[in-house]
Amino acid sequence: MNHFSQEFSLLLRACYPLIYIPTQEEERVEKAIANIGKKVNNRNIYTWDFVDGYQDNPNNANFARRNPLQALEFIEKLPSNIGGVFILRDFQRFLEDISVSRKLRNLARNLKAQPKNVVIVAPEINIPTELKEVFTIVEFALPQADEIKIEIQRLLSSTGQYLTEQFLGELVRSAQGLSLERIRRVLTRAIAQNGKLEEEDVELILEEKKQSIRQTKILDYYPAKEQISDIGGLDNLKEWLLRRGNAFSESARAYGLPFPRGLLLVGIQGTGKSLTAKAIAHHWHLPLLRLDVGRLFGGLVGESESRTRQMINLAEALSPCILWIDEIDKSFAGADGKGDSGTTSRVFGTFITWLAEKESPVFVVATANNIQNLPAEILRKGRFDEIFFVGLPSQEEREAIFKVHLARLRPHNLSSYDIKRLAYETPEFSGAEIEQTIIEAMHLGFSQNRDFTNEDILSAASQIIPLARTAKEQIEFLQNWATSGKARLASRNQLRLP
């Protein structure tokens, strides 16, 4: 809120005529604008919407009702010495109208020397090309911890309930990433049900948060149940992660450590990159947000950039968290800007600038299969803390992978499997191929009404052609790229193809 107040106050004082604020929190932003307006020469606030027209002055009640052009003419006709902030709700719906568009461009010229500011408040950015140069977009962030804390204490004032600092802090952390209206709604529901807030109500807030994230249609709230111990091998990578287990704590801040930035995991399919992202979230006890980059791209001008900013704002509001981007090489393969009017390039530029400059505790885990498709900018130092190459598992690591799967599936019968032999007989198999081999063996045993055996696993393995053979050239390229010093090896004993 402080950043918004500073930026918006500056725009008012600098006489920026047309301002666009994309937010779902209409009531909260209007209250913030009113507070800022009082401090900047005590500006009057005028609010218009299509249904009720202007509403803040009895002399103007319902004026320009159902008439967006008349709403702009009202601003134009006011004496030039009368200051005001004119909030137009949902006005983005009328920007395609030629008369409205022309009037706004005229206002942009005429209001430069007047203490008047037109502010469009809308759920998303939708600005036609001819108006992009005259509008200034101001981001309105979701409520921060201090604002959430004040709201929780306000809601509790009617109950007389006292919360310990620990419980209050837990409620605040769980509510970060929600709008103030959603926080009020879920907490009011909990108070109405029990007459007070209880520790179980944290789950209600988390469920509301999942619902909120789903509605953005950009990020997915991903339940992470996998553990570091579920990863077979990758000792160098696991050691790196375990060493940073407390890097998000207050003691780490007091020590002077910055927040970890993220990891880029490069390697062929099925080697455990996605599993690692899930295990990090579980081990560090942080929410895991999965980004499908394809969802960032929209058909309208400016929509893709708006969605990218929305994704960044949401991730930062939910921080500390893990942001998982799977197969980032496919997502930004067209970042050279050819064929899509530069949209991919602009989205990519916004994203990597945020990667380099972010100060919020959002740990980005990106995975890539084909390093040749990645733009060179993303590999530069400062985007990620480290780049790891996740190669094919060695025999020792295959033993660990077999043990992880068989211990989960047959914990009572683990000793009956010759894990060393299974690992020896599956050279060049990835972790995913080992898992598929065991599943195929289970189908074989189940179809014959018996448990699956070593021989079933070996028989299934003989039917699988590993990716190491079908994509040998790609794997050799990745191995040579990693061993040339471009990335750290995730495994101590890295398997190399003969």
DSSP state of 249: S
Query: Residues spanned by CATH 3.40.50.300 within the chain?
Result: 2-137, 228-390
Cα(140)–Cα(8) distance, integer angstroms: 10
Query: In this structure, which topology does domain 228-390 adopt according to CATH?
Result: Rossmann fold (3.40.50)
Kindly list the distances between the CA atom of residue 471 and the CA atoms of 369, 423, 460, 465, in Å, as whole numbers in the listed order. 11, 21, 21, 11
Which residues make up the CATH 1.10.8.60 domain(s) of the chain? 395-427+431-465
Alpha carbon distance 185, 492 (integer Å): 51
Sheet hosting strand 288-291, strand order edge to edge: 219-222, 288-291, 321-325, 362-368, 262-267, 386-390, 488-489
Class of 395-427+431-465 in CATH: mainly alpha
DSSP-derived letter for residue 373 is G
Burial-class residue 358 by CB neighbours within 10 Å (0-12, 13-18, 19+). Answer: middle
Distance CA 431, CA 269 (A): 9
Distances (CA, A) of 109 to 11, 117, 355, 478: 16, 12, 37, 56
pTM, full prediction: 0.71
Q: What is the pLDDT along the chain (498 residues), one digit of tens a residue?
A: 678 999 999 999 999 999 999 998 999 999 999 999 999 888 899 999 999 999 877 778 889 999 999 999 999 999 988 889 999 999 999 999 999 999 999 999 999 889 999 999 999 888 998 999 999 999 898 888 889 999 999 888 878 888 888 888 888 888 888 889 999 999 998 888 888 888 888 888 878 878 888 777 788 888 778 888 888 888 899 899 988 888 887 788 888 988 899 999 998 888 888 889 889 888 887 888 998 888 887 655 567 877 888 888 888 878 888 999 988 888 776 666 555 557 788 888 888 899 988 888 899 999 988 888 888 888 887 889 999 998 888 899 899 999 999 999 999 989 999 999 999 999 989 999 999 999 999 999 999 999 999 999 999 999 998 888 888 888 888 888 888 888 888 887 765 655
Of 426, 459, 422, 412, the C-alpha closest to 440 is: 459
- Give the Cα separation of 153 and 401 in Å (integer): 50
Ramachandran assignment for 495, one of left (phi > 0), alpha (psi -120 to 50 degrees), beta (any other): beta
Provide the CA 303 distance to its chain's centre, in angstroms.
17
Q: Does domain 2-137 have CATH number 3.40.50.300?
A: yes
DSSP 394: -
